[in-house]
Structure 1
Amino acid sequence: MISKTLLVVMLFVTTLSSVAQRADSLVAQLDSVRNERRVKTLNLLSGEYVDSDPVKAFGYAREALNLATEIGDRRGLAAAYNNLGVLYKAQGALDKSLEYYMKSLHIYDTLQLKDSTVMKLGVASIKNNMANIYSLKKDHNLATKYLEESHKLFVELKDDRHIIGSLNNLGILYSDIDMDDRAMQYFIEATSLGEKIGLKNSDSYNNVGNIFFSQGNFQRAVEFYEKALQIARDKNDRVGILKTAINLGVTYAKARQPAAAKVYLDEALVLCNDLQAYADLPAIYKAMASNEAIQNNFKGAYEMQLRYDDARQKIYSEESSRNIAQMEMIIEFEEKEHELSSLRAQSEIDRLELRSRTLFIVVITISGLAIVGGYNFYYINKKQSLKARKELAKALSRDK
C-alpha cells in the first residue's frame, strides 16, 4: 500500500527561482545580520535545506533555537521549534516531533504580535504539522480537528499556497478513512487552484494518483504520478521525487511490471538514504519484497521483508532515538566549540578591560594623591610663611 503523508508546512519560506539561489543568498546574509534578523535567517536556511540536506537543516534550526533563547526572541524560537519538529518527523521520531510542535504552538498562543497575519500564519502552519503527526498515529479525530482549524485560518488569510496544502491534507485524511469521493473533491480543488495561480504542485497529482491506485486503476494512477514526478524534477524537489518514485515503484509492482518497478524503487532507496528520510524506508523495502516475489525470487523477497521489519522497528525503537541523539551531540559539540572560542575572545576582552580599569584607577589615585600633596605643600608653605612674617614683625618692633 502506498504511504500517505500530510504535507508539512514550514514557516518563513520565500519564493525565488531555485533552492540553491535562496540558500546562497541567505548564507551570504549571515555575516551581516545580528539578533532577531540572524534568527530569522537561520530559520529560513533550515527551511531551505530540509528537503535537500536534513543534517544541515538541523544544524541551522538548532543554532536558531540557541540564539533565539539567548536573546529572548520568542517568535524566532517558535519558528525554530517548528522546524525541528519537521526534521524529527522525517526521522520517524513522531513523539519528539509533536513535542516541538506543541512548544511552538504554545509560544504563538502567548505572543502579543501587532501583525495578526503573521500570528495566524504561524498558528495555522503549526496546527497543520500537528495534524500530520496525528494522522500518522491514526488518531483521525485530532488530525481532523487541527486540519480544519488550520484550513480555516489559511482561508481567512487568503493564502492560496497554503490553502492548496491544506486541501491536499484534508483529501489525504478522508482517503485514509476510505471516503475516496470526498477525498477526490479536495484533491481536484487543490489541483485546480494550483493551475489557476500558476503554482504547480507534485503533491496534488500524487494524491489523485493515490485514489486511482486504491481503486485498482493503475494506468490512471501512473498518469498522475508521472505528472507529479516531472513537476518535482523541474523544481529539483528531492523529497517530492522520492515520494513519487515510491508511488511509481509500488504501482508498477502491483501491475506486475517488475523491471519498471525496480528502476523507481532503486532510485527511491538512494534518495531516501541521501536525504536521511528513514521514515520512508519501510515502504520501499516492502515494495521491493513484493517485486521480488512476483518474479518468483523468494530468497530476495525474504531478504527485503527482513529489511522492511528492521527498518520499521528502527523508526520507533531506541536505535532511532540514539541516531538522533548522535546528530544532536555532533551539533552540540560544534556549538560548544564556537561558544568556547567566543568565551576565549571575551576573556581576552575582559582582561584588557580589567587592565584598562586598573590603570585608570592607578592614574586617578596618583592624581588624587598629587592634588592632596600639592594642597598640603601649599598649605604648609603658606602657614610657615605667615609664621615667619609674624616673627619678623615682632623682631622689628623690639628694635624700635
Structure 2
Amino acid sequence: MKKHLLLTIVCMLSALSLNAQALDSLEEKLTTAEGDEKVNTLNELFIIYNQLNPAKALEYAKSAMELATEIEYLKGKAAALNNMGIIYKNQGIYDKALEYYIESLRISDEINDREGLAATMNNIGTVYSLKGIYDKALIYFIESYEAFKELKDDQKLIGTLNNIGNAYSDKGREDKALEYFSEAINLSQSLGQLNSSSDPLNNIGNIYFYREEYGQALEYYNKSLEVEISNKNLLGQALAYSNLGSAYLELGDMKMAEEHQNKAREIAVKIHANPILKLIYQGLSNIYYRKGDYKKAYDFRLLYDEIKDNIQNEEGNRRLAQLEIAFELQQKEKELELLKQEREIQDLQVENSRIVILLGLMGTIMFIGAGFVIFKLRKIKRL
C-alpha cells in the first residue's frame, strides 16, 4: 500500500509561502499584466489554486500555456507544461502527466533553464515512483537533487531528499529512507521551516507504520495533518486523514478508522485525487470486511478496482517510451554536435600549426637563399 505523498516541485514560487493577501495581489495584477508578465502571473496563480481549487488551477495552467505558445515565451511555456503535468499526476493520469513533463523538459533543456530542468526531473521521478518503477524514479530524483545542489536551492533540496527517501522506502530499504527523511527534516530546521512542509513528517510516520509501531505512526500523521490544515493543502489533508484511518484500523479502533477514511474520501472526491482515492477505497473495504459488513466491503473493493484500472494505461506507456527515446536521442545529437565542433576547432588548430610551420620553413629557406646570393655577390666583387 503506497501511503506517501510525493512532493511536486514547480518552477515558480512555493505555494506555502503565499497567503491570501498575495493571492489577491496576483489576481489584481492579472487584470493589467501583458506578455511574459501575464504568463508568469498565471503560472503563479496555478501554484496557489492547485492546493485550494484544482479545477481553477487547471484553467490558469491552460491559459498560461496558450498565451506562452502564442507569444513564443519558452520559459513560461515550459513552466505551464510542467503545471499541466502536475494536474494530471494528481488525478492519476500518469501517462498524460509524463507527456507534459517530457515536453517541458525538452524546452527547458533547449533554453538552458537549469532550475526548470531540475524541477521537471523531480516531477518525472514522482510519476515513475507512483507507477512502481522505483529504479527509474531514483535516477530522476538524484539528477534533480544534484541540479538543485549546484543551484544552491536548499528549499527545493528538501523536496528531492523527501522523494529519494520515498523511493528507497518503496524498495523496502527503510533504513536508507530514514536517512533521507532525517536529512530533509534537518535541512528544514536549519532554514527555520520545520513546520512548513508535512512530507518528511508523513513519511517518517509511514516507516513506523511499516514496522507495525502504529502509536508512533499516529503521532507523525497527526503532525502532518496539522501542517496541511495550516497550509490549506487539500491534497495533503486527504492523504493525512487516510493514513490516520489506516493506523486506527491496525489499532482496532474501527470508529476512528472509518471516520478518518470518510473525511479523506470527501476531500479526495472533491479535488479528483484518484491515486489517494484508490487508497481510501482500499482502506474502507478493509474496515467493513473486519466489521463483518461484507456487502459494503465488496462495493468499496469494486470502486478500488475501477479506479486502479483507470490509472493504468499500457498504450500510454508505449507512447511515453517513444517520447523519452526521442528526447535522449536529441541529447545525444547535441553531444555529438559539441564533439564535432571540438574536433573542428582541433583540426583548425592543427591546420594553423601546419601553416605556421610551413611559413617558418619558407622563411628559413628564403633566409638561406638570401645569404647564398650575398655570398656570391661578395665573391664576384673580390674577383
Fold shared, TM-score > 0.5 on shorter chain: yes
**Residue type of the partner of 2:159?**
G
Aligned-partner SS, 1:61: helix
Matches for 1:208-287 after TM superposition, within 5 Å: 208-287=204-283
| d(CA) in 1 for partners of 2:293, 2:65 | 50
Query: Is the Cα–Cα contact under 8 Å of residues 16 and 22 in structure 1 kept in the other structure?
Result: no
Aligned-partner SS, 1:33: coil
Structure 1 residues 61 and 15: CA distance shift in structure 2, 3 A: closer
Q: 1:65 Cα deviation (Å)?
A: 0.7
- Asked whether 1:124 is paired with 2:132, we answer no
1:187 to 161, 181, 188: 181
Q: 1:314 Cα deviation (Å)?
A: 2.8
**Residue type of the partner of 2:304?**
Y
TM-score for both structures, normalised by structure 1: 0.75
| d(CA) in 1 for partners of 2:270, 2:21 | 21
Query: Is the Cα–Cα contact under 8 Å of residues 18 and 235 in structure 1 kept in the other structure?
Result: no
| d(CA) in 1 for partners of 2:217, 2:305 | 27
Identical-pair percentage:
37
**Residue type of the partner of 2:248?**
Y
Matches for 1:329-348 after TM superposition, within 5 Å: none
2:130 to 126, 130, 136: 136
Matches for 1:1-400 after TM superposition, within 5 Å: 1-14=1-14, 18-111=18-111, 119-199=113-193, 200=195, 201-316=197-312
Structure 1 residues 68 and 189: CA distance shift in structure 2, 3 A: same
Structure whose alpha-carbon radius of gyration is higher: 1
Q: 1:305 Cα deviation (Å)?
A: 1.1
TM-score for both structures, normalised by structure 2: 0.78
| d(CA) in 1 for partners of 2:161, 2:111 | 28
What are the Cα deviations for residues 349-378 of structure 1, in whole angstroms up to 9, with x where unaligned?
Answer: xxxxxxxxxxxxxxxxxxxxxxxxxxxxxx
| d(CA) in 2 for partners of 1:152, 1:210 | 26
Point out where structure 1 has 5 or more consecutive residues left out of the alignment: 113-118, 319-400
Query: Is the Cα–Cα contact under 8 Å of residues 42 and 60 in structure 1 kept in the other structure?
Result: yes
Aligned-partner SS, 1:50: helix
Per the alignment, residue 368 of structure 2 pairs with none
Q: 1:4 Cα deviation (Å)?
A: 3.1
Structure 1 residues 150 and 129: CA distance shift in structure 2, 3 A: same
**Residue type of the partner of 1:162?**
K
Q: 1:83 Cα deviation (Å)?
A: 0.2
Q: 1:32 Cα deviation (Å)?
A: 1.4
Query: Is the Cα–Cα contact under 8 Å of residues 209 and 220 in structure 1 kept in the other structure?
Result: yes
Aligned-partner SS, 1:92: coil
Q: 1:2 Cα deviation (Å)?
A: 4.1
Query: Is the Cα–Cα contact under 8 Å of residues 78 and 103 in structure 1 kept in the other structure?
Result: yes
| d(CA) in 2 for partners of 1:149, 1:8 | 15
Structure 1 residues 14 and 225: CA distance shift in structure 2, 3 A: closer
Query: Is the Cα–Cα contact under 8 Å of residues 249 and 265 in structure 1 kept in the other structure?
Result: yes
What are the Cα deviations for residues 74-113 of structure 1, in whole angstroms up to 9, with x where unaligned?
Answer: 011000100000001111111110010000010011115x
**Residue type of the partner of 1:82?**
N
**How much is the aligned-residue C-alpha RMSD, in angstroms?**
1.8
| d(CA) in 2 for partners of 1:164, 1:184 | 14
| d(CA) in 1 for partners of 2:4, 2:111 | 34
Q: 1:14 Cα deviation (Å)?
A: 4.6
Structure 1 residues 33 and 123: CA distance shift in structure 2, 3 A: same
Aligned-partner SS, 2:88: helix
Q: 1:273 Cα deviation (Å)?
A: 1.4
| d(CA) in 2 for partners of 1:138, 1:15 | 27
Q: 1:262 Cα deviation (Å)?
A: 1.3
Query: Is the Cα–Cα contact under 8 Å of residues 18 and 48 in structure 2 kept in the other structure?
Result: no
| d(CA) in 1 for partners of 2:51, 2:15 | 15
| d(CA) in 2 for partners of 1:308, 1:14 | 33
**Residue type of the partner of 2:58?**
F
Per the alignment, residue 392 of structure 1 pairs with none
Structure 1 residues 144 and 89: CA distance shift in structure 2, 3 A: same
Q: 1:315 Cα deviation (Å)?
A: 2.9
Q: 1:6 Cα deviation (Å)?
A: 2.1
| d(CA) in 1 for partners of 2:19, 2:278 | 28
Point out where structure 2 has 5 or more consecutive residues left out of the alignment: 315-383
Query: Is the Cα–Cα contact under 8 Å of residues 52 and 232 in structure 2 kept in the other structure?
Result: no
Aligned-partner SS, 2:52: coil
Query: Is the Cα–Cα contact under 8 Å of residues 5 and 136 in structure 1 kept in the other structure?
Result: no
